[in-house]
Structure 1
Amino acid sequence: MSTFTSSTSINRPIHEVYAFLADFNNHQKLMPDNIQEWISTADEAHFSIQNMAKLSLKIESRMPDQEIIIVPAAKPPFDLKLKWSLSFDNDHTDILFTIDADLNMMMKMLASAPLQKLADHETNSLTEILS
């Protein structure tokens, strides 16, 4: 299993950050420009990655003001799990975004950089939107 992480800290109450992340409709705002054909509900999202693959994701579990776990809704090219972990410290919310991907050696060489870039892009976008 390969793990890609990115963290940020936002000067907002944890319940506001959680409320934003708990609704999959908001995740389109976090995605990079190569994400196309976005269709979502509060619990699921379907989209394509330009010149690559189509993905369907769903929120598997929500722990209010703590954690959101996202898993594939349909069979992906490789197994993966996305997790948003939240904690509140004084006047800001600390956020850790983790992508766990089951990559074989060839896929690891091809997908590691884009997956880390995605993790960083999502946390940077979240910071811009909620700051």
Structure 2
Amino acid sequence: MNLESPKVSVQKSAQYLFDQLTDVKNFEKLMPDNIAKFEVTGEDAFIFGLKGMPEIKLKMKDKTAPTKVVLGAASDKLPFTLTGNITPTSDDSSDVQLHFEGEFNAMMAMMVKGPISKFIETLAGNMHKL
């Protein structure tokens, strides 16, 4: 299952956004209002939970300065990645788009597609808070 957030323009440099996104504690600023839990569990990992959803642990998997940050599920039960692609548009502005890629069975994909789409749209929409 592949999902994409809308591309958002942020009045920050690509390097600034990259630095912010590679510091996992900053993801708390991007979370939706219905967050029930956010806990940094290491230099490159955090757990978050939204009301009514199971907790998810994300871990930094890859980063390419200043254009790409890849987070992945720390558990193999639900393998997925969340990639932030940063495109510089000028010295002090950038476009950011999030890509979610997961391997789910058809039933699970049907259940999670809506909530995950809304979640990555919210993350992208909150990029200006960094």
With normalisation by structure 2, the TM-score equals 0.88
Deviations 1:94-118 (A, max 9, x none): 1111111212211122111111101
- The residue aligned with 2:15 is 15
Inter-partner Cα distance in structure 2 for 1:75 and 1:32:
25
Counterpart residue type for residue 8 of structure 1 = V
Counterpart residue type for residue 107 of structure 1 = M
With normalisation by structure 1, the TM-score equals 0.87
Inter-partner Cα distance in structure 2 for 1:52 and 1:18:
28
1:16 is paired with a residue whose SS is: helix
- The residue aligned with 2:59 is 58
Q: Is the 8 A contact 2:18 2:66 kept in 1?
A: yes
Q: Is the 8 A contact 1:38 1:47 kept in 2?
A: yes
Is 1:82 the counterpart of 2:99? The answer is no
Q: Which stretches of structure 1, 4 residues or longer, exceed 4 Å deviation after superposition? A: none
Q: How do 1:32-71 residues align onto structure 2 when only pairs under 5 Å count?
A: 32-40=32-40, 41-71=42-72
**Percent of aligned pairs sharing the same letter:** 22
**Alignment root-mean-square deviation, CA:** 1.5
Inter-partner Cα distance in structure 2 for 1:107 and 1:121:
21
Q: Is the 8 A contact 2:83 2:98 kept in 1?
A: yes
> How many residue pairs end up in the alignment?
127
Deviations 1:31-86 (A, max 9, x none): 1133322111441001223222121110011111011110112334x211000111
Which segments of 5 or more consecutive residues in structure 1 lack a partner in the other structure? none
- The residue aligned with 2:109 is 108
Q: Is the 8 A contact 2:83 2:100 kept in 1?
A: yes
Inter-partner Cα distance in structure 2 for 1:42 and 1:18:
16
Inter-partner Cα distance in structure 2 for 1:103 and 1:34:
24
Q: Is the 8 A contact 1:22 1:42 kept in 2?
A: no
